[in-house]
């Protein structure tokens, strides 16, 4: 369990760093390059990939909802860093919402039973395949919207789907890295498609929304959706006597996301001006 916790924490820090780099690239109005070609964005992808590797290791040792809840701590790291870098201070209720998200996610993580997770069944893989198709359609439908939260929501579901797909990959103990074996499993391709949907919608959300609010919606969705799927369909267990704290954490996290989805969004030209929003 300790191994899973350490790798999940490393992934959390990596996700926050990747988000900051990608946001800086998205807000660089001086650059004439397409977002995908900007150095900071590419560096963010590298950091994101390293964080994902840490997430994979954590998922092999902890239930999905515990790993995802730890990853949700990136909300606090990102909020503090974005205030320092961009000088945009959120309203008091937005700060309280960040605290609610972090407290709720920490409670959800603490609710996990100390057991090794079970792999996904073939039926679950089919469900994931249907889910990724629906998610792709939804991403196309909201791509041109002016609001960032629908894209952030889909991004969270996309990256959350990669966590579930990782559980579906069958790796026999002691077999090492079997590239041929991985290439013959549908779950391997589900990981790729979920990740592509997640990274493209997240990048688009950063272009039109504030980093703090985008990260809050994205990270909490990434925690709640796959976490609940893990409990209902995969047999992930809540610690005995922790159902009430788990439910309270769930409510806190959802309320925090609803509030942060309405947070003020500064215009690109004002990103680095210091101003206080009451």
For position 154, what pLDDT does the model report?
A: 95
In the predicted structure, residue 84 carries a pLDDT above the cut 60: yes
What percent of the chain shows pLDDT beyond 90? 12
- Mean pLDDT to the nearest integer, 257-263: 68
A 10 A CB-CB count for 182 gives: 15
The H or E element containing residue 92 is: helix 92-110
Q: Is the distance from CB of 249 to CB of 236 less than 8 angstroms?
A: no
- Compare 205 and 277 and report the one with higher pLDDT: 205
Torsion sign across C-alpha atoms 29, 79, 58, 192: negative
For position 244, what pLDDT does the model report?
A: 92
Please give the Cα distance from 47 to 64 (Å, whole number).
21
- Compare 43 and 116 and report the one with higher pLDDT: 43
Q: Is the distance from CB of 182 to CB of 169 less than 8 angstroms?
A: yes
Please give the Cα distance from 176 to 162 (Å, whole number).
21
**Vertex 62: Cα angle to 8 and 51 (nearest 5):** 25
Q: 163-199: per-residue pLDDT in tens? A: 888 877 766 555 555 667 677 778 788 989 999 999 8
Q: 7-63: per-residue pLDDT in tens? A: 888 988 898 888 788 777 776 656 666 766 788 888 988 998 898 889 888 887 777
Burial of 24 (0-12, 13-18, 19+ CB in 10 A): buried
State the DSSP code for 116: P
Q: Which two tokens stand for residue 241?
A: 């006597």
């Amino acid at each position: 369990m300790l191994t899973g916790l350490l790798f999940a924490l490393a992934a959390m820090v990596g996700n926050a760093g990747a988000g900051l780099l990608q946001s800086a690239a998205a807000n660089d109005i001086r650059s004439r390059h397409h977002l995908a070609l900007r150095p900071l964005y590419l560096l963010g992808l590298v950091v994101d990939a390293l964080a994902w590797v840490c997430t994979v290791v954590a998922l092999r040792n902890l239930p999905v909802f515990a790993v995802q809840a730890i990853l949700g701590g990136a909300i606090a790291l990102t909020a503090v860093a974005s205030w320092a870098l961009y000088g945009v201070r959120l309203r008091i209720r937005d700060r309280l919402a960040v605290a609610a998200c972090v407290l709720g996610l920490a409670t959800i993580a603490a609710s996990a039973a100390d057991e090794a997770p079970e792999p996904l069944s073939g039926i679950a893989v089919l469900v994931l395949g249907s889910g990724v198709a629906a998610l792709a359609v939804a991403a196309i439908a909201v791509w041109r919207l002016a609001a960032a939260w629908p894209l952030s929501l889909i991004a969270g579901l996309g990256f959350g789907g990669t966590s579930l797909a990782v559980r579906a990959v069958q790796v026999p103990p002691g077999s090492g890295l079997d590239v041929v074996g991985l290439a013959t499993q549908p779950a391997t391709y589900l990981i790729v498609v979920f990740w592509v949907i997640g990274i493209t919608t997240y990048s688009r959300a950063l272009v039109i929304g504030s980093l703090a609010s985008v990260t809050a919606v994205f990270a909490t969705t990434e925690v709640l959706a796959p976490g609940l799927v893990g409990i209902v369909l995969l047999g992930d267990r809540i610690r005995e006597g922790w159902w009430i704290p788990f439910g309270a954490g769930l409510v806190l996290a959802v309320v925090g996301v609803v509030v942060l989805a309405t947070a003020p969004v500064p215009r690109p030209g004002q990103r680095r001006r210091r101003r206080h929003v009451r």
